Chains A and B, each alone.
Chain A
Amino acid sequence: MKDTIIICRCEDITYDDVVKAIEEGYDDIESLKRRLRIGMGPCQGRTCIPLVMRILAQKTGKNREEIEPPTHRPPLTPAPFGLFVGDEDEG
């Protein structure tokens, strides 16, 4: 039933997709992110990244603490361009 466990809701990535990518050699979080687009959707990785880090630890035999999290990319939540336009005099 693991092909129906959704790990990344933004990009519709399942548990099996993650395991398959790890087996293909994408065995660190930055490579997995680029391969599967996990953590690149509107949730900013809040749902998927902790799950993927746990799967990575299980599959690579590393401790959970040894798995490096990906670089954080601002903004914290999606924000429209209009919000950043501000006054013309600034910056």
Chain B
Amino acid sequence: MKDKAEVVIIGGGVNGCGLAYVLAKNGMDDVVVVERNYLGSGATGRCGGGIRQQWSTEENIKLAMESVRVFEKLSDELEYDIEYEQGGYLILAITEDEVEQFRKNVALQNSLGLNSKMLSPDEAKEIVPYLDENEFIAATFCNTDGHANPFRVVEGYARMAKKLGVEIYTHTEVKGFKVDHGRIVDVVTDKGVIRAKYVVNAAGAYSARIAKMAGVELPNKPYRHEILATEPYEHFLDPMVISFHYGIYFSQTKHGEIVGGIGDPEEKPSYNIRSSMRFVTRMARVITKLMPVFKNINIVRQWAGLYDVTPDARPILGPADTVENFLQINGFSGHGFMISPAVTRITADYILYGREDEMLRKLSMSRFKEGIAEREASVVG
């Protein structure tokens, strides 16, 4: 194990491995990634793999649009197939209030250059013929949204990062920090101590715990979100279908299985990631209502992961308020996979060139002290 590095990244998920790759690609190879378990063992490897640009706040739309441009060429860049498909996202409006909100969303999205549009139920059925048109009143669609295989994205980033000189230590746990005059000097792990110039907190739902070791209080809370997969079927579903009203999302992977989940308003913050009967029952009721064909489709596996949720459902980026070389890249509130290319680029620009992207200011942790500006309304799952 190295005993010093320019950058120590805590967390071997999509953002930790992605940042390591972007740094190394731009010439900084003195980078260490520390992962407590195996790569992708946290939220990344448990997520639905969706990549969506249809958001309600300008920051998320911009981060997602930049990320899609990266995902489009990522398989070539990493020389590894990330199983990326752009089948679009079809967002169903169930209530009149939603139609109102979706009109605003689409107008904002269009003003930022995204080609999303409103659809009637009949038009939506042209994209997904099995939908029950009586169960929704309108929809929005963006044909460049899509999904990729999260395992393969992490794997691709990690392989290429290692090739470029990054060291990745799995099964290695951070136990604490040595902080001196508002800076982290050493990262203490169960396998040894690493002296670091920058420390990056990409620990997902464990980010608040990691931050606390450096005396930094993050407002992030962990929430269990459950998900399931079916047997593989011949391709019949192009887009990811979602509804904020029900909190449901589902898509068909390149492998053929349907992967989907549904959020639970009753869920309380915890680190519990056990599967429940309540989830599969709620999922079955809603998915068969929206698409009756699902009644005969076989569920083969269910699991759970943790959303790392902030008070405004938007990520935290940039330096911690009291520890200047301790960078945050967490608080993704359920959409850390899809915007990882943009947030890792922004974080790398800060480390490499000291560039303070406007997003770093807007998404810094100090916003919570100043009062939350704008809450992201389009969260699902």
Contacts and interface: CB of A to CB of B under 8 A. Distances in A.
Given A30-B38, A34-B45, A74-B275, A81 B282 contact: no
A44 B300 contact: yes
A1 interface: no
Contact of A79 (B38, B283, B294, B299): B299
A35 B159 CA distance: 13
Contacts of B40: 34
Interface residues of A, number: 26
Main secondary structure of the interface of A (DSSP, over half): loop
A59 to B, nearest CB: 17
Nearest to A45: B301
B197 to A, nearest CB: 28
B282 A79 contact: no
A91 B266 CA distance: 12
A73 B257 CA distance: 16
Contacts of A37: 255
Interface in A22-54: 28, 30-31, 34-35, 37, 40-42, 44
A31 B298 contact: no
A75 interface: yes
19 contacts: A28-B38, A41-B300, A42-B231, A42-B298, A44-B301, A73-B303, A74-B301, A75-B280, A75-B299, A78-B231, A78-B300, A79-B299, A80-B297, A81-B283, A81-B284, A81-B294, A83-B284, A85-B281, A90-B281
Interface of A: 28, 30-31, 34-35, 37, 40-42, 44, 71, 73-75, 78-86, 88, 90-91
Given A34-B45, A73-B301, 17 more contacts: A31-B38, A35-B155, A42-B231, A42-B298, A44-B300, A75-B299, A78-B299, A79-B299, A80-B299, A81-B283, A81-B284, A82-B284, A84-B281, A85-B285, A86-B285, A88-B285, A91-B281
